[in-house]
Amino acid sequence: MSLIAWIIQYAVQSLLYKWILSWGGAKWLVGLKSALTLGWITWDWNAEQIRLYILIIWIFSSLWFVVGLFKPELRF
């Protein structure tokens, strides 16, 4: 994957995570919508649990983004 594509992918992903964490996306996703969007494990979670899950994923995703900046063979 090219560097530009890597950066664009991370930016779009971060925008989605920001929406879920800060702009009310977690409340909208509660229930079946969360299972379809985030995975089957989240279908019975409340908004706060979804926000914590996304925060953890965003942290790991950010670390992987930085690693991918310096090691292009690890980009996918």
Which pLDDT tens digit goes with each residue over 13-54? Answer: 999 999 999 999 999 989 888 889 888 888 889 999 999 999
* C-alpha to C-alpha distance for 62 and 36, rounded to whole angstroms: 23
pLDDT at 17: 96
* C-alpha to C-alpha distance for 12 and 15, rounded to whole angstroms: 5
pLDDT at 13: 97
Query: Reduced to 3 states, what is the DSSP secondary structure of residue 71?
Result: coil
pLDDT at 28: 93
pLDDT at 31: 86
Residues 1-24 have a mean pLDDT of 96
Average pLDDT for the chain: 93
Q: Are 19 and 25 in contact (CB under 8 A)?
A: yes
